[in-house]
């Protein structure tokens, strides 16, 4: 397989293959692969009826789920295995679902080790629950939201953002990064994410047919923004959600308003993984997911 590096011009070529599949994992849309290309060196190989995505992490090459119809998955998986063998590399898959695990177990018996990656499970929520925050389980979220609406009455504005607003988003991220550095809570992954967000903004003209970007201004200053898109006709995926944590209720507000205004009909919402970060896991669980997108790493013994 002669793979090509994923860049913004790959979108037109790859999109038909994303449309072939019904995967619910956040990795399986163009924006995710493009946004993180600089970190994982994502690349792709295409034949008429399928696409293979390759990537790299700390020098180890791996493949994610091939973009293929279910009927052709076994053949495409064989091609990927053969590719690793020809490259004299250990076979390595990431972000794999249970169905593909079962195919590989049947075809290759005990050749591989299958690792359940809880830290990488995507959180799936009921869309209407997030849009309404109804019910006893969401009482705390409603209380935070009510506080925000009352405390900042007539002082906030929700709106879709475009090229005119992106510099404010970047300034906000830099401001928060500086505060974290001063408080010794800075995480280097923030730098990687900033690179990815800049790539989205710099290529918005070629991405705007799929993605939506919205923000909340408080006292005429941008204090939160979010980026999302339809993963499939029944599910939205939220790639980015940033808000000033010192403004109580701002996170529940932008979460709710984004879905109410931009994804009013989706049945489910994917809010991606928690990466094993304790605070992030607690926050995601507090919205009461209805299920997880389970993911497995598969390595050759």
Domains (range + CATH), the chain: 4-120 (3.40.630.30), 122-272 (3.40.630.30)
Q: In whole angstroms, what is the distance from residue 106 CA to residue 237 CA? A: 32
| DSSP reduced 3-state for 14 | helix
Q: Is the pLDDT of residue 180 over 90?
A: no
φ, ψ dihedrals at 117, nearest 5°:
-105, 80
Q: Is the pLDDT of residue 92 over 80?
A: yes
| DSSP reduced 3-state for 129 | helix
pLDDT for the residue numbered 251: 96
Closest to 258 in 3D by CA, of 289, 285, 290, 226: 226
pLDDT for the residue numbered 177: 81
Closest to 132 in 3D by CA, of 2, 22, 255: 255
pTM listed for this prediction: 0.94
> Is the sign of the CA dihedral 213, 16, 120, 82 positive or negative?
negative
Q: Left if phi > 0, otherwise alpha if psi is -120 to 50, otherwise beta: which for 36?
A: alpha
Q: Is the pLDDT of residue 162 over 70?
A: yes
Outline where the chain has alpha helix (H). 10-18, 30-35, 37-40, 73-86, 98-108, 127-132, 139-151, 166-182, 189-202, 204-207, 250-262, 278-285
Q: What is the mean pLDDT of residues 267-291?
A: 96
Confidence of residue 181 (pLDDT cuts 50, 70, 90): low
Q: What is the mean pLDDT of residues 259-273?
A: 98
**Which carries the bigger pLDDT value, residue 20 or residue 185?**
20
For 90, residues 6+ apart whose C-beta sits below 8 A from its C-beta are 60, 84, 299, 300
CB 202 within 8 A of CB 7: no
Q: Is the pLDDT of residue 283 over 80?
A: yes
Helical packing angle, 189-202 and 166-182, nearest 10°? 170
**Which carries the bigger pLDDT value, residue 197 or residue 190?**
197
pLDDT in tens, 206-256: 999 999 999 999 999 999 999 999 999 999 999 999 999 999 999 999 999
Confidence of residue 26 (pLDDT cuts 50, 70, 90): very high
Closest to 9 in 3D by CA, of 166, 203, 194: 203
> Taking all residues of the chain, what is their mean pLDDT, rounded to a whole number?
95
Q: Could you tell me the two tokens for 172?
A: 């906000």
């Amino acid at each position: 397989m002669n793979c090509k590096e994923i860049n913004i011009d790959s979108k037109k070529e790859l999109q038909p293959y994303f449309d072939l599949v019904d995967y619910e994992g956040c990795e399986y849309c163009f924006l995710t692969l493009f946004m993180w290309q600089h970190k994982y060196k994502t690349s792709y190989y295409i034949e008429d009826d399928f696409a293979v995505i390759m990537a790299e992490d700390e020098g180890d090459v791996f493949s994610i789920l091939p973009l293929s119809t279910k009927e052709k998955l076994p053949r495409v998986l064989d091609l990927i295995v053969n590719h690793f063998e020809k490259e004299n590399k250990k076979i390595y898959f990431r972000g794999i679902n249970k169905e593909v695990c079962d195919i590989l177990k049947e075809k290759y018996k005990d050749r591989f080790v299958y690792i359940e990656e809880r830290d990488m499970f995507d959180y799936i929520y009921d869309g209407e629950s997030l849009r309404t925050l109804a019910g006893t389980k969401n009482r705390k979220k409603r209380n935070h939201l009510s506080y925000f609406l009352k405390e900042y009455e007539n002082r906030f504005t929700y709106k879709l953002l475009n090229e005119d607003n992106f510099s404010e988003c970047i300034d906000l991220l830099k401001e928060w990064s500086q505060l974290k550095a001063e408080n010794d809570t800075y995480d280097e992954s923030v730098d990687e994410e900033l690179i990815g967000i800049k790539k989205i903004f710099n290529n918005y003209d070629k991405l705007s047919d799929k993605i939506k970007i919205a923000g909340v201004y408080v006292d005429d200053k941008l204090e939160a923004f979010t980026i999302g898109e339809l993963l499939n006709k029944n599910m939205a995926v939220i790639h980015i959600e940033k808000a000033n944590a010192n403004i109580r209720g701002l996170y529940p507000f932008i979460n709710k308003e984004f879905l109410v205004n931009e994804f009013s009909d989706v049945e489910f919402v994917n809010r991606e993984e928690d990466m094993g970060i304790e605070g992030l896991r607690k926050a995601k669980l507090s919205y009461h997911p209805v299920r997880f997108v389970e993911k497995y790493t598969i390595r050759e013994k």
